Structure 1
Amino acid sequence: MTATRVLVLNSGSSSVKYQIVDMADGSRPAAGQVERIGEEGGAADHVTALKQVGDDLAAQGFGLDSPELAAVGHRVVHGGTRFTEPTLVTDEVLTAIEALVPLAPLHNPANLTGIRAVRELRPDLPQVAVFDTAFHATLPEAAYRYAIDRDTADAHHIRRYGFHGTSHAFVSRATARLLGKDPSEVNVIVLHLGNGASASAVRGGVCVDTSMGLTPLEGLVMGTRSGDIDPAVLLHLQRSAGMTPDEVDALLNRKSGLLGLCGDNDMREIGRRMAEGDEAAQLAFDIYVHRLRKYVGAYTAVLGRVDAVTFTAGVGENSAAVREAALRGMGLLGIEVDAVRNAVRGSAARLISAKGSRVAVAVVPTDEELQIAQEAYSLVTL
């Protein structure tokens, strides 16, 4: 029996999401998640959670001991400068990922725990780490280096890494297919708009700029994150408000963005409140869209020629209002949205640009699990 299935695991700090992808036909025979790890009523730890995943898969007819499994593909958030492509997990790789924990203290430890748990349950099964930062490893130095003292930056690994890489890779390539072209022929601005949000400029299939930086905090306004902010604000809050670094961190990551502006981080609820004339919700929406417009303009300048602007993830795929407002009045840049096309909801990749628009505007559902499965399977079947 040929092993054609890949188990994709996204092991977070308090949850494990899983999906089996069959590379023979692209089907997804099993999927699910275990939540509230370490909390009352939930799994005690990640090893227990992974055993529950194994039980859930077995109940669906796909045990971890299945000979049809070719590999396990793990989402790992931070690969630093070392990991710029999918990597077969070894003891040395685990040690290197652990060394990167200071750059992603909330994510890499959970990712490592998931890998180790699978190793304990199926030590013979190839495991592949697919890094969120890898797609952005092609950024030129002018884009990734911050304008601070070089020695300090290098000593502490301070640079732009970027995140959501598997999504940006999948969506930029899917956009090229939608246009009937090879990725090497297409320049795309990808707007990944979920609770976390990021933008990327992709030239000929290669990422040349992205909005997230050393951490996922930089860039666009997000559900609970501030995005771009004057760094002196952090110093001011510590010196004048007496806030500790941890308090500032909590403010910027968990109490800012849409939530901080209007008390809601769900764009659907914000839209409902706007329709009722809620001024705080309207302002939050306007700030969110204003930041998007700035990045579309900036990345148009970076790329020089833009073939498509593509929206993806929860807000990008479902909010016609955000898409319309983000690109309104950009006719001089060759970007025009068709109101009727934009209003149509659907689960398939589609164009929403107006007839005659020089730049295609697309909605492409992201599929990070498929991207991870493809990269893992390609590596183990070389």
Structure 2
Amino acid sequence: MSHPKLEDAVKTLRQQYGARNPSSLRAFEDAKRSLPGGGTRSSIFIQPFPLVIASGHGTCLTDLDGHTYRDFVSDFTSGLYGKTNVILRDAIVGAIDNGMQLGGHTPAEGRLASLICDRFPAMDLVRFANSGTEANMIAICTAMRYTGCSKIVVFEGGYHGSLLSHFRMDELNAGPSSALTAPFNFVVCPYNDLEQTREKIVHSTGDVAAILVEPMLGAGGCIPGEPSFLRGLRELATEVGALLIFDEVQTARLDMGGRQKLLDIEPDLTTLGKFFGGGFAFGAFGGKREVMKMFDMTQPGAISHGGTFNNSPCTMVAGVTALEQLVTESALTTLNALGDNMRESLNQGFSAHSLPFIREY
């Protein structure tokens, strides 16, 4: 149905947006000559064109046209340290001065692994990757190898990286998905519905390798997993001989040991990313010793898992510095309190003016 007045209003706003941001528009048009759609990251594209950022300082961003904005997103938590954290900067400069890519093991690699395992009781051993997407892909393959099964249970609205997104059934039924999804044998279940999940797993004829779940849907709407649902998945995975994988790439900031610690649930594998790399590209997967020992290269028949930047010295040093000095228990308490206060204030504002789209989580 056509809405001429609305279409005219949108057209006017886009014209005003273009007039306000001519330098960003020029940079975007230049980028389109070499990048499809002018960018290489779909999640930050906006119509009619995105702002092009020139610099950042503290909690603020400045675009090419000189406009400064307060950043409340922090690059989806990967940038929660701010744009110019002095502690991180000094550590990173020191790492660069010591040699950028050394092509071998460094002390910081083992130190970062120890710090992460100390925070997550369910992680006896951990390995590093370069993104949350990569960590989840490897965790899935690990579960398939360990169990000898092929099906992966995931949930509607779940997002586990650029190759592992799952839309809700009503969206799937509407037509082909625009997401580029890895061709695993997925069983898509309704989030927070344990009984329907159980039914689908029962019909999977004992071939379930893993149940992969976000303790809170991130890109799928910031919907918390009900504790009874998540605990039920733990029991169900054990019952059918599958591995329970908690994707804590986004929820790890809710506590020193992620949401699994808050709910006292121990998954078989956990995937991490974002801020654990101190602002650099980072991913990690880890869990029970009997599963992770398959990667032990001192043993015959070990699984080979490479990656030139898995233990990049700059990332390792930045990660160690962040976990030891910045992502402390008190800092996380303050961070989460700020988020809770912002959510509650927005809900109150929308409610006071009888506006839609209120979430009371």
Q: TM-score, normalised by structure 2?
A: 0.29
Q: Quick one: higher RCO (CA 8 Å, sep 6+), 1 or 2?
A: 2
